[in-house]
Amino acid sequence: MKAEILAVGTELLLGDIVNTNAQYIARRLADLGISVYHHSVVGDNPERLKDAYELAFKRADLVITTGGLGPTKDDLTKEIAAEYFNKELVVDEESMKKIEEYSKRNNRPVLESNKKQAYMPKGCIILKNDHGSAPGCIIEDKGKILIMMPGPPREMKPMFENYAVPYLEKFSDGVLVSRVLRVLGLGESEMEDRVKDIIDSQDNPTVAPYVKDGEATLRITSKANIKEEAVKLLVPMESNIRERLGDYIYGVDDTTIEEVVAKLLIDKNLTIATAESCTGGLIASKLINYPGISSVFMEGVVSYSNDAKVKRLGVKKETLDKYGAVSKETAEEMAVGIAKTAGTDIGISVTGIAGPDGGTAEKPVGLVYVGLYIKGSVKTKKLNFWGDRQNIRNRTAISALDWLRREIK
Amino acid sequence: MKAEILAVGTELLLGDIVNTNAQYIARRLADLGISVYHHSVVGDNPERLKDAYELAFKRADLVITTGGLGPTKDDLTKEIAAEYFNKELVVDEESMKKIEEYSKRNNRPVLESNKKQAYMPKGCIILKNDHGSAPGCIIEDKGKILIMMPGPPREMKPMFENYAVPYLEKFSDGVLVSRVLRVLGLGESEMEDRVKDIIDSQDNPTVAPYVKDGEATLRITSKANIKEEAVKLLVPMESNIRERLGDYIYGVDDTTIEEVVAKLLIDKNLTIATAESCTGGLIASKLINYPGISSVFMEGVVSYSNDAKVKRLGVKKETLDKYGAVSKETAEEMAVGIAKTAGTDIGISVTGIAGPDGGTAEKPVGLVYVGLYIKGSVKTKKLNFWGDRQNIRNRTAISALDWLRREIK
């Protein structure tokens, strides 16, 4: 089966946003063994959209669209598709009910423009939208398949995974199995050096490195007629790589470092509190994104001012005067202080210079100290980053969490 | 002039990388007033690449490609273009010299595959690559223009800016001026209802609404022969929209709500402290992303447990028992408590149910209370969101900051 990905939206054509949806869908279709030869983007224009359908169905059996399902009159993907396939648009009662309930809950009237989202091509398969109001749908006709999904990635991705992928599995041409190994604490070249011979001699499975925002990944992909065979090919390759990268690998696939750490804390029933300066709540916020964290995460302090460090955490004024707020000593007292005042097993602290100002020759922008108190003993770690403020703060949070992972593992 | 962006590369088709080049070029072409109606992606396949050229030149006068100029035998963009335009590939001496020097500097032999990069379509305009070995080029023929650039963004962007843009300026069909108005606190349909007649009757300037993660934007774009004229067209339209949307508009272009709030706090010299439950440090973290915030941001508490609310913020145990942690009363005491203990002018608090568990019929997932203490007086606000945990937390943080903005403005 040949597929084509068609993104609809003038905001894409104008370069207001990046077409990350195409990448996501392309990768998942590759996993399913469905070949993709073209991606296209077209604006919210009836004639060009119709031409785009015609062209796509000339080249492919399956066309997947994203975008243009919203309430505004610019949103035309569904309307033009209905025209193309000569189908009437009819109310989908369940979708209409959902839209009405949503408006009610928000004390808003149900506008005509909202209702438009519940009109679907007659006879189509509805794809539920669990994260927004515009449902997607599948039209099967003339030996062709059209799958339409909303544009916002956080609506599109779960819809695709939960409702489109199960539908598509029957068209899968052989099976691809992929596994992404997630690596922290090793630079890109260092990681590549360790697995270079594997990458150079790859065939099936293939191994692809990728680096983004201080984190590296290795994607292993194997192909076979059935899933079991593909997994059999993948497993020894994964073991081989794991032997070389050891516990630099913190997780697989879509796992995040905060998820790994949160799970470890919950499993081991270790309570935690955070004391953050330059990261300003980023570590707490990442951990709290994990549902169920409330059983172990007790509290956090964003001790941005020196006053707060003294008052909330019991950092000694002399320490601040003698060593400065960004120092090993302050990080240590912050970690002990937050654990003691919160009564937790673990206290993790961060103090650093995120820039762009505030750096000196001795303490440059990017210098960060992390403190880690675990049940009576405390350690600190000095880190150096470069990049802009946001980048430094984010890398600091990730590195601190990764250090915590290794210490409690 | 109509243009089309064509990205070449199997790694894009497979979803290994995101096509950020298309966004970059699209935005710059919009700045130049060159219309783009299609973006496409095609793999490193001779037949499909040739078809892609044919299609693109049928639809457009100018085609800009990225990718496929490298040394490997998969890189075919230039070769197929030469074939399409019936041009010979000839050595460009300067490019060859550069490749030889580059190899010498890196103590590498000059491979045949490297030399391939210096063969260019006869009569083309060479675009220097200041950040890599593959030059780009411009072919002018049959009334059409083809601009080919390398795929890596750090090579493509400077080449485009320094060599392609000066070439393209002569085709600039007038000047486009854009302004994005950023809106918070109004739903997408509500916003559209207020400006519907403007959108319906738009011509020059055009007005395009867009919504993402609870935030809405309106892009106004005007076109004229010179910039001053375009600005003159834009200004009254902006005023007209501002009259209808009032202070729901919090900023323009790339401004973020945290930036607006941080600037307001600094300008008015209002000190602030945060007390967060479900947002878990997100509000603090957003504010702290603004450089210079340290003069007004004093501290934050992530009072996730009830204990922390009592101990750190002085919330009364009776309040928690009687009304619960997620209540108007608790939000109020949190806001007062953080301001009092931190000694700040402003205390902002959040308590809510981010889910996926913990909701009841009375207090469903997505229910959030925000408390706002400003110099002696305190208010609370009840909010309802839907979506996943991350989304609820993020929208809560943005709404809380937006409320703060309106109160201190």
pLDDT score for A213: 65
Q: Do A280 and B279 touch (CB under 8 A)?
A: no
Q: Do B285 and A279 touch (CB under 8 A)?
A: yes
User: Hey, how many other C-beta atoms are within 10 angstroms of the C-beta on A307?
Assistant: 15
Q: Which of A110-114, A310-314, A393-397 has the lowest mean pLDDT?
A: A110-114
- What stretch of H or E contains A196? helix A188-200
Pairing of strands A2-8, A35-42: parallel
Of A42, A74, A356, the CB nearest to B291: A356
At A131, the pLDDT band (50, 70, 90 cuts) reads confident
pLDDT score for B190: 83
Selected for mutation to probe chain A from B180, B282, B304, B357 (highest A CB count within 10 Å) is: B304
pLDDT score for B106: 65
Residue with tokens 């399913």: A32
Of B18, B187, B219, the CB nearest to A108: B187
Q: Rounded CA gap, A314 and A376, in Å?
A: 16
Tell me, what's the ipTM? 0.73
Set of chain A residues whose Cβ sits within 8 Å of the Cβ of B355: 291
pLDDT score for B349: 98
Q: What is the pLDDT of residues A285-322, one digit of tens each?
A: 999 999 999 999 999 999 999 999 999 999 999 999 99
Selected for mutation to probe chain A from B5, B20, B23 (highest A CB count within 10 Å) is: B23
Mean pLDDT of A248-267: 95
Say how far residue B258 (Cα) sits from the centre of its chain. 15
First CA to last CA distance, chain A: 45
Residues A320, A310 contacting (CB under 8 angstroms): yes
Q: Do B281 and A278 touch (CB under 8 A)?
A: no
- What stretch of H or E contains A200? helix A188-200
Pairing of strands B144-149, B206-212: unpaired
Residues B159, B21 contacting (CB under 8 angstroms): no
pLDDT score for A189: 67
Residue A385 has pLDDT above 90, yes or no: no
Pairing of strands A297-302, A249-252: unpaired
Considering chain A, what percentage of its residues have pLDDT values greater than 70? 98
Q: Residue B292 has what DSSP assignment? A: T
Selected for mutation to probe chain A from B17, B210, B211, B278 (highest A CB count within 10 Å) is: B210
Nearest to B399 by CA among B367, B359, B376, B360: B367
Total number of residues shown for chain A: 409
Selected for mutation to probe chain B from A17, A20, A72 (highest B CB count within 10 Å) is: A72
Q: Rounded CA gap, A86 and A91, in Å?
A: 16
Residue B30, min C-alpha distance to chain A (Å): 6
Residues of chain B with pLDDT under 70: 106
A309 or A226, higher pLDDT: A309
Which of helix, strand or coil describes residue A204? coil
At A203, the pLDDT band (50, 70, 90 cuts) reads confident
Set of chain A residues whose Cβ sits within 8 Å of the Cβ of B38: 13, 40-42, 48
Residue A178, strand partner residues = A221
Q: Do A15 and B26 touch (CB under 8 A)?
A: yes
pLDDT score for B26: 95
A342 → chain B, closest CA residue? B308
Tokens of B250: 């919090």
Q: Do B280 and A284 touch (CB under 8 A)?
A: yes
Nearest to B255 by CA among B407, B405, B32: B405
Q: Do A304 and B294 touch (CB under 8 A)?
A: yes
Q: Rounded CA gap, B399 and B397, in Å?
A: 6
Total number of residues shown for chain B: 409
Of A12, A106, A299, the CB nearest to B305: A299
Of B17, B281, B305, the CB nearest to A298: B305
Say how far residue A205 (Cα) sits from the centre of its chain. 25
Domains in chain B (CATH in brackets) are 2-171 (3.40.980.10), 175-252 (3.30.70.2860), 257-408 (3.90.950.20)
Q: Rounded CA gap, B73 and B84, in Å?
A: 18
Residue A217 has pLDDT above 80, yes or no: yes
Instruction: Please provide residue B320's backbone torsions phi and psi, each rounded to the nearest 5 degrees.
Output: -60, -40
Nearest to A164 by CA among A121, A187, A130: A130
Which of helix, strand or coil describes residue B391? helix
Residues 6+ apart with CB under 8 A from A354: A278, A365, A389, A392, A393, A396
Residues B189, B224 contacting (CB under 8 angstroms): no
Tokens of A384: 């150096």
In sign, the C-alpha dihedral spanning B54, B56, B59, B64 is: negative
Residues B296, B342 contacting (CB under 8 angstroms): no
Set of chain B residues whose Cβ sits within 8 Å of the Cβ of A23: 12, 15, 17-19
Most trustworthy range by pLDDT among A132-141, A331-340, B107-116, B221-230: A331-340
Say how far residue B393 (Cα) sits from the centre of its chain. 20
Which of helix, strand or coil describes residue A198? helix
In sign, the C-alpha dihedral spanning B192, B195, B198, B200 is: positive
CA distances from B371 to A213, B272, B336, B339, B348 (A): 35, 13, 8, 11, 6
Q: Do B280 and A301 touch (CB under 8 A)?
A: no
pLDDT score for A212: 66
pLDDT score for B30: 85
pLDDT score for B32: 84
B271 → chain A, closest CA residue? A305
Q: Rounded CA gap, A291 and A287, in Å?
A: 9
Say how far residue B319 (Cα) sits from the centre of its chain. 43
Selected for mutation to probe chain B from A20, A296, A299, A395 (highest B CB count within 10 Å) is: A299
Residues B66, B7 contacting (CB under 8 angstroms): yes
Residue B314: exposed, middle, or buried by beta-carbon count in 10 A (0-12, 13-18, 19+)? middle
Nearest to A154 by CA among B15, B395, B351, B7: B395
Residues 6+ apart with CB under 8 A from B154: B131, B132
Residue with tokens 């491979």: B111
Interface size A-B, in CB pairs within 8 Å, comes to: 263
CA distances from B33 to A22, A272, B29, B203, B235 (A): 26, 55, 6, 15, 19
Question: Which amino acid makes up residue B58?
Answer: K
Strand ranges (E), A31-100: 35-42, 62-66, 89-91
Of B219, B281, B342, the CB nearest to A281: B281
Residue with tokens 């001795």: A362
Question: Which amino acid makes up residue A151?
Answer: G
**Which runs of consecutive H residues, i.e. helices, occur in B14-152?**
20-31, 46-59, 77-84, 93-105, 112-115
Taking the CA of residue B72 as centre, how many other CA atoms within 13 Å lie in the half-sphere pointing to its CB?
A: 6
Of B42, B192, B284, the CB nearest to A281: B284
Q: Do B211 and A42 touch (CB under 8 A)?
A: no
User: Hey, how many other C-beta atoms are within 10 angstroms of the C-beta on A246?
Assistant: 9
Residue A27: exposed, middle, or buried by beta-carbon count in 10 A (0-12, 13-18, 19+)? middle
pLDDT score for A288: 95
Residue A188 has pLDDT above 70, yes or no: no
Q: Rounded CA gap, A200 and A218, in Å?
A: 14
First CA to last CA distance, chain B: 45
Tokens of B302: 């992530």
Set of chain A residues whose Cβ sits within 8 Å of the Cβ of B298: 304-305, 307-308
CA distances from B139 to A13, A296, B59, B82 (A): 24, 64, 17, 9
pLDDT score for B227: 84
Residue with tokens 């949806």: A21
> Long-range contacts of range B73-77, CB-CB < 8 Å, 24 or more positions apart?
B73/B113, B74/B10, B74/B44, B75/B44, B75/B116, B76/B8, B76/B44, B76/B45, B76/B46, B76/B49, B77/B8, B77/B49, B77/B148
Residue A51 has pLDDT above 90, yes or no: yes
Residue A46: exposed, middle, or buried by beta-carbon count in 10 A (0-12, 13-18, 19+)? exposed
Q: Rounded CA gap, A50 and A80, in Å?
A: 6
Which of helix, strand or coil describes residue A24? helix
Set of chain A residues whose Cβ sits within 8 Å of the Cβ of B39: 12-13, 19, 40-41
Q: Do A114 and B189 touch (CB under 8 A)?
A: yes
Provide DSSP, B187-203: -HHHHHHHHHHHHHT--
Strand order across the A249-252 sheet: A206-212, A215-224, A175-183, A249-252
B213 → chain A, closest CA residue? A152
Q: Is the peptide bond before B205 cis (omega within 30 degrees of 0)?
A: yes
Q: What is the pLDDT of residues A55-106, one digit of tens each?
A: 999 999 999 999 999 888 889 999 999 999 999 999 999 999 988 887 887 7
Residues B402, B389 contacting (CB under 8 angstroms): no
